[in-house]
Structure 1
Amino acid sequence: MSESQATLKSQLEELKCHFTWGLQEKDADIKELEERLNIKLEYLTKNLKGRVYNLLAYVNHLNNDYKEAIVNLQKAEAILQESKVLETDIKYLLTFSNYAWVYYYLNDTERSKLYIEKINAIYTQSNGLEDLVQSETNGEQGWALLKFCGQYYEKAKGCFEEALKANPDDPEWNSGLATVVCRLEEFRGRDGSDFKSLSFQLLQRAVKLNPKDSVIKALLALKLQQLKRQQEAMKYIKDALELTPELPYLLRYVAKFYRRAKMFEEAIGVLKKALSITPTSGFLHHQLGLCYRQMLIRDGRINSGNGRSPDMQNIKDLREKAIFHFEMVVEVKKSFLHAHFDLADMYVRSNQHKKAEETYKKATELTTTPECEKQQALLHYGEFLEKWKKSEDEAVEQYKEGLRIPVRNKHREECEMSLRSIARQRLARNPRDASGLALLGFISKENQDKSNAMKLYEKALSNDPSNDEYLSALFDLKMM
């Protein structure tokens, strides 16, 4: 690399854009991401499309399709031009930075330098407005991380918080922060009262700053519903539907609201309407599957409570519909972990245990799953192996894998509880059971209780002196 090229590369690495924000191909299903972004373009308002075109250009880069990347950046630029935004406005920073990187990869050094000059001109023009520039770049990074994959939600939250320090009343950054905190609440399984209080406050503020944003209103409605404020929640749902009755992104949340309210027929009607617009949406198929499964459970309980025999044809139809839609989800959105759980659950309910096992196994093998959800997949697979396959040893291996992941949450705790339960049962049958002692030793080891772990492994070895696994574990502990 020549000195000139090294200087250019150094300048590019200083830019704030998709190429420098650490968006890793390995963390997302790139094909699914591209399809999702293209669907968004069909119904987003023009001023929001520029952000999507920029992310698509980066996806094109990951696919080595620089011709299409240029086309998408041109579309993003055209939106700003049509809105009469001056080239020296900070709104151009993201697009120009991505241009500079794309031309660098095309070995068009002159054009890459030209865009760096344009970026420098924006910074010169924005002298004295450094806080707003920082807010703009942090906010755009937040949206990019939020849209790219679930693994980046925590980082996205931090970016929006930074963006709001300099520009606390910015509607977009407030919406972004409220959205990502809601996602984290479900994604991470955070159900503490403090976290719920934070998301509720953020949503209220976002709605106040974005009175015409129907999606934010729907998210607030879902939160109010969760807080048992149903009447108030329904008002926001009606307001949102009046604003954008045909918007698929809104309809999915409206359907989720109806489903949670056990208004299944209304939910299914909304979901089918949304699917007619975006037929490959994994979210919509998942919600339909959940509706049919809940109806299946409801009808079974009603019949049981009345002492009546269930309508077997109705039960069969609901079961088949739930399975069909869950299968559609894992086909169109392979990285949707919870859809794997729901599909496996339906296979169990229909006595298709082999298919259930295959589905749980696939869930544990997903490469884009963050560690906290990987633990959940291992836990569910272990529970299936223990309860339905009656294979305690295979279940133990899954629970152990879950405990090895150091992220501390309820899923790790449940893996530990399951291991302790199995160990105690074995020791209750035989106080000298080496495998039970070793399991307790393993738990102590993973919880950094070295002294207790060594004692337990030594006891296990005294009852099974030639066990290589126990010898290896004890050796590792002594070397710690």
Structure 2
Amino acid sequence: MYLKYQLCALCFNYSESQATLKSHLEELKCHFTWGLQEKDADLEELKERLNKQLKYLNVDCKGRVYNLLAYVTHLKNDNTEAIVYLQKAEAILWDSKVLETDKKYLMTFSNYAWIYYYLNDSESSKLYIEKINTIYMQSKGLEGLVQSETYGEQGWALVNFCGQYYEKAKDCFEEALKANPDDPEWNTGLATVVYRLEEYRSKRRPYLKYVSFQLLERAVKLNPKDSVSKALFALKLQELKKQEEAMKYIKDALELTPDLPYVLRYVAKFYRRAGMFEEAIGVLKKAVSITPTSGFLHHQLGLCYRQMLIQRNRTGRGDKSGQDTQKIKDLMEKAIFHFEMVLEVKKSFLHAHFDLADMYVRSNQSKKAEETYKKATELTTTPEYEKQQAHLEYGTFLENCKKSEDEAVDQYKEGLRIQKNEYRQQCETSLRRIANQKLKRNPSDVSGLALLLFISKENQDYDPSNEE
């Protein structure tokens, strides 16, 4: 629990060793102690994304981004530039006339202390620890609000770092709200992360659909000027078949910030889900003109063109004339172009790999499809359940498109070995089906029997307690 240590634990005389200094630093609450692991994120992509955010976020949120940029820059071994980012974060508080003894300085001062430690400037590091100690002393009687601040900032840091940390971020926002239940920022943070968790893990936890609805509704009430929350709430209303009310919130979000890319992308998603493809494409093109290297925007454009293609094929539009053939070709090329653009700017976007591979299959480019699925299985920053999905998707392609049963089996096996239950059953079902087909042809088939033994062993070794 935060503030578990006594205030005096931060006090020390300046003759203490570096090891002792390190132990005091480890008590601080900041990016260096929040478990943000370099291996879990693409640092180049993360830094670029954070710099984009600085162009459009309000001033209060920019300080948070500068702090995370300082930590990311430290991970890239440039502590001098990290100090510059922290100075920018501090300047925002200073310009807002926030006193140095305010709890809002805790994260920035803590990051300063760590960066100076890595710069071998022990005196400066100790100076910032003393400043932090002063803030705690000035906050006697307000420990709950200090906890709320540190938990809330940790929550946003986890959200912004990578999708693997959404569960931890959710826990942090819930803790932040215990002491300060009406804080708009922490309510928005909790609503946002639960919405994203639902988007990513809806198959496993459909109940989040209703939780995120309530949280987004509360966030909008507490912060009616937050256009992003309104856009997310509109998407949730749309999903719950409340189209008229949803449209109202989408219009409100657009009126509040008509040129904010983070709102435009959700508005476009809303239109796409409503089948309003031309409107969605118009909004996305506007957003892309503002942020041309946004992977999310290009992904949404690709989805629009693919859905238009699917709809055209499903309804049997066209008379197989040259004009219709050209239209289909144009839609394919546009979808492929935008999905390829996604992976140029965000190589770790797993589902864009699946979508691009799907379009390669549809356009009879099987070799490119296989290369794309293979890359999806080789991504190093994806969580385990997504790696499991990648092996399943690749295996399905190998079995159905390449007609390579043995290679497909290898992928299904890899998926079954992963200690997650997201796509495990589908991997097992595929393996059993292949085994049973082999044994139906020949009851003594060694490879078929070996597959059933493999499944049995993996199920014995499977430990459900590893699930999140």
TM-score tier by shorter-chain length is over 0.9
- Shift of residue 3 of structure 1? 4.7
Deviates more, 1:86-95 or 1:195-204: 195-204
Matched ranges for 1:310-329 at <5 A: 311-329=324-342
**Which of 166, 175, 184 is the equivalent residue of 1:162?**
175
Contact 2:198-2:205 at 8 Å conserved across structures: no
Structure 1 residues 204 and 218, CA gap change in structure 2 (3 angstroms): same
Q: How does 1:256-405 map to 2 (within 5 A)?
A: 256-303=269-316, 311-405=324-418
Q: Is the 8 A contact 1:385 1:391 kept in 2?
A: yes
1:109 and 2:122 matched: yes
| 2:190 match | 177
Paired with 1:205 and 1:448, the residues of 2 have a C-alpha distance of 45
Residue of structure 1 in register with 2:229 after alignment = 216
- Among residues 54, 68, 77, which one is paired with 2:67 in the alignment? 54
1:442 maps to 2:454: yes
Distance between the aligned counterparts of 1:301 and 1:194, measured in 2? 32
User: 1:412: which partner in 2?
Assistant: 424
Q: Which runs of 5+ in 2 are unaligned?
A: 1-14, 463-468
Tell me how far apart the structure 2 counterparts of residues 186 and 422 of structure 1 sit (CA, whole Å).
32
Closer/same/farther in 2, CA of residues 270 and 191 from structure 1, 3 Å limit: farther
In structure 2, distance between residues paired with 1:83 and 1:369: 39
1:244-291 Cα distance to aligned partner (Å, 9 max, x none): 001011101000111111111111111111111111000000000000
Q: 2:217 aligns with which of 201, 204, 210?
A: 204
**Does residue 1:29 correspond to 2:42, yes or no?**
yes
Q: Return the letter of the residue paired with 2:438.
A: R
Q: Distance in 1 between matches of 2:143 and 2:258?
A: 40
The residue type equivalent to 2:430 in the other structure is S
Contact residue 157 and residue 177 of structure 1 kept, 8 A: yes
Counterpart Cα distance in 2 of 1:302 and 1:413: 33
Partner of 1:311: helix, strand, or coil?
Answer: helix
CA offsets 1:73-127 (integer angstroms, 9 cap, x no match): 1111111111111110100000000000011111111110000000000000001
Q: CA deviation at 1:160?
A: 0.8
Residue 225 of structure 1 corresponds to: 238
Distance 1:90 1:205, change over 3 A: same
Contact kept, 8 Å, 2:202 with 2:208, in 1: the verdict is no
1:184 touches 1:190 (CA, 8 Å); kept in 2?
no
1:147 to 157, 160, 173: 160
CA deviations on 1:405-437 (whole Å, 9 max, x unpaired) are 11112x111111111111111111111112112
How far residue 193 of structure 1 moved from its aligned partner, in angstroms, is 4.0
User: Residue in 1 aligned with 2:439?
Assistant: 427
Shift of 1:190: 3.6
User: Partners in 1 of 2:426 and 2:98 — Cα distance?
Assistant: 54
- SS of the aligned residue for 2:17 comes to helix
Query: 1:210 Cα shift?
Result: 1.1
- Determine whether 1:76 maps to 2:89: yes
Whether contact under 8 Å (1:21, 1:141) holds in the other structure is yes
1:188 Cα deviation (Å)?
2.3
CA separation of 1:364/1:275 partners in 2, compared to 1, >3 Å: closer, same or farther? same
CA distance in 1 between partners of 2:63 and 2:333 (Å): 41
Aligned length, in residue pairs: 447
SS at match of 2:370: helix
Corresponding letter in the other structure for 1:67? T
Task: Give the deviation of 1:63 after TM superposition.
Answer: 1.1
Distance in 1 separating the partners of 2:409 and 2:454: 11
Higher deviation after alignment, 309-318 or 120-129: 309-318
The Cα of 1:303 is off from its aligned counterpart by 2.5
What is the aligned-residue identity percentage? 80
Taking structure 1 as the reference length, the TM-score comes to 0.91
In 1: Cα distance, 2:331 partner to 2:204 partner? 30
Read off the aligned partner of 1:372 and give its amino acid letter: Y
What is the RMSD computed on CA atoms of the aligned residues? 1.4
SS in 1 for 2:268: helix
Aligned residue identity for 2:115: V
Aligned amino acid, residue 65 of structure 1 = D
Distance 1:237 1:114, change over 3 A: same
Q: 2:109 aligns with which of 96, 121, 125?
A: 96
* Whole-Å separation in 2 of the counterparts to 1:67 and 1:335: 28
Letter in 2 for 1:250: V
CA distance in 2, matches of 1:220, 1:343: 29
In structure 1, what is the equivalent of residue 4 of structure 2? Answer: none
Distance in 2 separating the partners of 1:449 and 1:316: 49
Q: Measure, in 1, the Cα distance between the counterparts of 2:424 and 2:124.
A: 51
Alpha-carbon offset, residue 205 of structure 1: 0.9
- 1:238 correspondence with 2:251: yes
The one-letter code sitting in structure 2 at the alignment partner of 1:61 is: H
TM-score of the aligned structures, taking structure 2 as reference length: 0.93
CA contact (8 A) 2:198 2:206 kept: no
| Counterpart-to-counterpart distance in 2, 1:190 and 1:85 | 45
